[in-house]
Structure 1
Amino acid sequence: MKALIAMSGGVDSSVAALLMKENNYECVGCTMKLYGNDDVDLSEQSTCCSLDDVMDAKEVARKLGMLHYTFNFKDQFREKVIDNFIYCYEHAMTPNPCIECNKHLKFNELYRRALELGCDKVVTGHYARIRKCEDGSYQLLKGLDKNKDQSYVLYSMTQDELAHTDFPLGEYSKDEIRKIAESHEFVNANKPDSQDICFVPNGDYVCALKRFTGKDYEPGDFVDMDGNVLGRHNGLVCYTIGQRKGLGISAAHPLYVVRLDTEKNQVVLGKNEDLFSREVTVSDINWINPNTLEDSFKCKAKIRYRMEEQPCFVERTGADTAKIIFDEPQRAITPGQSAVFYDGEVVLGGGIIIG
């Protein structure tokens, strides 16, 4: 069996390669070049596509006796991830670029390269698991390390992709992975985890948008829930649902961004309690095992990466659309983010929140 290992230069993907070697796979390493750092106006040491990261990946591959390739996916990344990032913010949505990257690059473009190289599996360092069922179908499961579980960003995987993917870290904790890397004297054993969007490593997404588009976004009015003007905003792209800081508005009580009105170019502000709602509309849903689901059912769901999934009722309104009714109101439901559905440790699927 032969596996193509996606190696970012970090400790997780390096140990994933080691574990696959120990499972007697013939392994080939690769690093995806998603953009040049000059494209995002940052130094060569700033991002996951830096020269240092590529060299770390190559060093681990050399240590493990693996071939290593660098694949140029810059055009695909610009079209599928960065352009979507721009579109979402310009249409009052807050995207999750990691989900789009997994969907279009890691388990699509990379899978095609794996086939060209005669590989049976694509392997990444995600903390998640895959289980083959008795009927031959596949399930996507949470990683065992609750603090590192990344199943939320993998909901778009298809049955074919799950059949040809391996997540060897899913049974481990992060501490265990670092200890394995240290015991094998990997150069990146103590390398910090990346925290920000890879192409916005300083966290300033508004600056990134302006750099990508060359635009200055039109100011408009802050208004309260009744439409009364409270002040001027700096452009809709500068604000996200639930935001409190950086508004520059004085009031008798804390104000939060409740809604972004693209038609009127207004940022609607309200109290914290105005942010809560039980109902969510979701589109572009990928159901991992669609034939196992009823038209309506109970499960749990979460509407952002860092939250506990919450009990809810799901009504499927179309092949890839649904309405969620949570048992308890949820705070700051944000268009553009993903709602992901769970049955215990099993990921049922997920889609994009549209309202």
Structure 2
Amino acid sequence: MGICFIGERNFENFILEYLEPKPGNFVSIEDRTVKGTHKGWFTLTLGQRARIGGQRDAWFVVDKDIATGDVFVAPTTNHPALFRDTARTDRFHWIAVDPPPELVRTQMMECHFRFVHQMPLIPCTVTLNMDGSVWISLSQPVRALTPGQFAVLYKGDDCLGSGKIIQLGPSEYTLKTGRERLVASQQQKDEPTPGPAS
């Protein structure tokens, strides 16, 4: 998460004044090759440009593995690994009614979503979980959904409430890769096996 109140300061330098560096690798999401190193996964946020020395092209942060310290990067700012269409929040904070009667009655509700101030509202379907958290399914994939940001829901002109994003669904890249593997596996099964030589 970015910290907007620090003003015009380098975020990495700011955060490293308070946390010890934990060096790790920038790893390509496509072929798992190491592209460079960083000073700590906590200095980077999803969607930002990764400053990787020696790389001619721009790379962007698409995921992080906190256990290993690896930060996964992809070439181009619109790589499919940056786009997701589902997110789960922690216990949602409803403003007027907790939770809305429509959501209680059917466990699902259509409304609109945003997670960045002034971003266009996106149609979504919200599913209520037993613990008060919600799954949000968007009508279109959104770039750089980020755990720790707040999902805010709207119905018409009314803000319904918000919840912190704690889990993301798979990226468009992950889904595409999975489909391609499934098709390749199916094609291998469908190929005729050679009969015995006569």
Q: Same fold (TM over 0.5)?
A: yes
Contact 1:298-1:314 at 8 Å conserved across structures = yes
Equivalent-residue separation in structure 1 for 2:108 and 2:2 (angstroms) = 27
Is 2:104 the partner of 1:292?
Answer: no
If asked which structure has higher relative contact order (CA below 8 Å, sep 6+), I would say 2
Supply the AA of the counterpart residue of 1:239. L
User: 1:274 — aligned with what?
Assistant: 81
Task: Specify which of 160, 163, 168 is matched with residue 351 of structure 1.
Answer: 163
Deviation at 1:287, TM superposition (A): 1.3
Task: Specify which of 117, 140, 153 is matched with residue 305 of structure 1.
Answer: 117
Is 2:141 the partner of 1:337?
Answer: no
Three-state SS of the structure 2 residue aligned to 1:284 is coil
- Structure 1 residues not aligned, in runs of 5+: 1-93, 97-195
Contact 1:340-1:347 at 8 Å conserved across structures = yes
Equivalent-residue separation in structure 2 for 1:235 and 1:279 (angstroms) = 27
Equivalent-residue separation in structure 2 for 1:254 and 1:293 (angstroms) = 45
Deviation at 1:254, TM superposition (A): 3.5
User: 2:67 — aligned with what?
Assistant: 263
Equivalent-residue separation in structure 2 for 1:237 and 1:296 (angstroms) = 35
Equivalent-residue separation in structure 1 for 2:41 and 2:15 (angstroms) = 12
Is 2:133 the partner of 1:321?
Answer: yes
TM value normalised by structure 1: 0.42
Deviation at 1:345, TM superposition (A): 0.8
- Structure 2 residues not aligned, in runs of 5+: 168-198
- Root-mean-square deviation (CA, aligned residues, Å) is 2.0
Three-state SS of the structure 1 residue aligned to 2:81 is helix
Matched length: 158
Structure 1 pair 228–245 and aligned structure 2 pair: CA distance change class (3 A):
closer
Is the strand fraction higher in 1 or 2? 2
Percent identity between the two aligned chains: 28
User: 2:40 — aligned with what?
Assistant: 235
Supply the AA of the counterpart residue of 1:284. R
Contact 2:35-2:52 at 8 Å conserved across structures = no
Any runs of at least 4 consecutive aligned residues in structure 1 with deviations exceeding 6 A, and if so which? Answer: none
Three-state SS of the structure 1 residue aligned to 2:13 is helix
Deviation at 1:249, TM superposition (A): 5.1
TM value normalised by structure 2: 0.72
Is the helix fraction higher in 1 or 2? 1
Supply the AA of the counterpart residue of 1:287. W
**1:1-355 paired onto structure 2 within 5 Å:** 94=1, 196-197=4-5, 200-211=6-17, 213=18, 215-225=19-29, 226-244=31-49, 246-248=51-53, 250=55, 253-271=57-75, 272-288=79-95, 289=97, 290-294=99-103, 295-355=107-167
